[in-house]
């Protein structure tokens, strides 16, 4: 077995268990849709087969996070119960001893479908020790759960991975200081000069931090809107002049400035790598990585956390000091997860990031060539298209486009047959 296969293959199947006679069954899921203002009004309703109502449908959450847990479907004795409650009540059935011993009585990942029509906030997710410290600090300060001024909604870190279902645009990680200085050529204004001075003085990680701090601090200045407008006008002039080398960066600044007038976050985009993912391509965003998703449709999986520290491009709570404390300013290209492609007529693609909580497997299944998915632990399966027949030790379940289920460890190995495109989140 080569190194890539060793990192990305699902666990070797144990001896097949007989039909389950007790424990938590496979559960159909009812999943909440989050209506954030940047969401597409059509993509998630189309996946779910429901009529759009005109409201933005930004994220479909499939998981047990208390902020918006999935619930057991209407059939069966668990109908309407929170997945988090069901997992907590029977952790060894739901998770298996391997996962329960490692993470406790909770589902360690949160699985989402993300549909962005406009840019998400400029943000970072905290590393473990900073998540714990921030959560307890805000709790001691008396901020209740769900309070709009909370930055830390739980005590968990939040590395994440996105797999594109459509062309997907993003910013992620810092460019090198030399690259940023090149992008500033021909631009002027107070904010551009501050960034240029920070990087010319220290063309290093320290300079990138100082440049970011200068732009983030501008939010509190009385002249912020005018200073941002002057810099954006300079970018517009350069774009009009037809500078091919800066065209993509210029277009990004102008698009963000149009969505969030007066927000210096539009200028922070000049410091960050611009990324396009084609369908099937993936990006891993470790905790501490400054990023912003710009547009597109994709499947996302992350450690089970809702900690988002924002510094701009949003109508939500901005906590620039927390972002600056938690961010990494080391210049590096966006990370790509390890990927393994296997199968024949039925194609299986597994994406693995260097974290313990999650992995994703996509299976494009054709009739008569079933594929095995993750063999143990908790699994959440979503049908992206077609009709999938799921076979486990506890029975059979059919999923159609937009339908999903939770497969507990007690159900044993999981096989998919039919004519369908499914995605499975699991714990490696």
Question: Considering only CA atoms, which of 274, 263, 267 is closest in space to residue 212?
Answer: 267
Got the DSSP string for 311-326? Answer: EESSSS---HHHHHHH
Query: CA 289 to CA 300: how far, in whole Å?
Result: 16
Give the tokens for residue 194: 């501050």
Q: Catalytic site residue 106?
A: no
Q: Which helix (H) or strand (E) holds 273?
A: strand 272-277
Backbone angles phi, psi at 282, to 5 degrees: -135, 160
CB-CB neighbours of 211 under 10 Å: 29
Query: CA 188 to CA 36: how far, in whole Å?
Result: 35
Q: Angle CA(151)–CA(298)–CA(291) in degrees, nearest 5?
A: 40
Q: Which residue has the tokens 């060793």?
A: 6
Annotated catalytic residue, options 310, 352, 379, 401: 310
- Report the C-alpha dihedral over residues 167, 261, 219, 181, rounded to 10 degrees: 60
3-state secondary structure of 386: strand
Pairing of strands 415-426, 282-285: unpaired
Got the DSSP string for 176-210? Answer: PHHHHHHHHTT--SHHHHHHHHHHHH--SHHHHHH
Got the DSSP string for 340-378? Answer: EEEESSSEEEEEE-SSSS-EEEEEEE-TT--EE---SS-
Where would I find the H helices in 15-127? 43-48, 83-89, 91-103
What residues are labeled active site? 310
């Amino acid at each position: 077995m080569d190194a890539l296969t060793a990192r990305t293959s699902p666990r070797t199947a144990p001896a097949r268990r007989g039909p389950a006679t007790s424990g938590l069954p496979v559960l159909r899921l009812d999943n909440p849709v989050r209506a954030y203002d940047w969401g597409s009004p059509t993509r998630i309703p189309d996946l779910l087969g429901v009529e759009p109502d005109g409201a933005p449908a930004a994220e479909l959450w499939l998981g047990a996070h208390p902020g918006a847990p999935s619930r057991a479907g209407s059939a069966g004795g668990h109908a309407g119960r929170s997945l988090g409650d069901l997992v907590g009540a029977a952790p060894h059935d739901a998770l298996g001893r391997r996962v329960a011993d490692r993470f406790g009585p909770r589902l360690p990942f949160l699985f989402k479908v993300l549909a962005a029509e406009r840019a998400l906030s400029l943000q970072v997710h905290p590393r473990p020790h900073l998540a714990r410290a921030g959560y307890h600090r805000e709790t001691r300060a008396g901020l209740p759960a769900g309070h709009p001024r909370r930055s830390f909604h739980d005590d968990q870190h939040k590395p994440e991975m996105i797999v594109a279902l459509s062309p997907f645009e993003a910013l992620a990680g810092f460019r090198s200081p030399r690259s940023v200085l090149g992008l500033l050529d021909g631009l002027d204004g107070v904010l551009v000069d501050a960034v240029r001075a920070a990087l010319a003085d220290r063309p290093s990680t320290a300079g990138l931090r100082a440049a970011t701090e200068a732009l983030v601090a501008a939010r509190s200045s009385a002249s912020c809107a005018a200073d941002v407008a002057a810099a954006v006008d300079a970018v517009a002039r350069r774009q009009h002049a037809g500078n091919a080398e800066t065209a993509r960066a210029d277009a990004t600044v102008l698009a963000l400035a149009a969505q969030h007038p007066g927000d210096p976050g539009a200028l922070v985009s000049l410091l960050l790598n611009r990324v396009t993912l084609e369908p099937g391509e993936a990006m891993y965003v470790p905790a501490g990585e400054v990023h912003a998703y710009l547009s597109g449709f994709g499947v996302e999986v992350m450690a089970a956390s809702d900690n988002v520290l924002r510094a701009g491009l949003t109508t939500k709570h901005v906590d620039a000091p927390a972002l600056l404390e938690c961010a990494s300013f080391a210049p590096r290209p966006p990370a790509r997860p390890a990927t393994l492609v296997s199968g024949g007529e039925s194609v299986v693609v597994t994406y693995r990031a260097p974290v313990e909580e999650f992995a994703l497997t996509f299976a494009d299944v054709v009739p008569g060539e079933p594929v095995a998915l993750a063999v143990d632990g908790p699994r959440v399966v979503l049908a992206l298209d077609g009709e999938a027949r799921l076979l486990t030790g506890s029975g059979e379940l059919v999923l159609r486009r937009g339908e999903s289920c939770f497969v507990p460890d007690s159900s044993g190995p999981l096989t998919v047959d039919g004519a369908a495109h499914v995605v499975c989140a699991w714990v490696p």
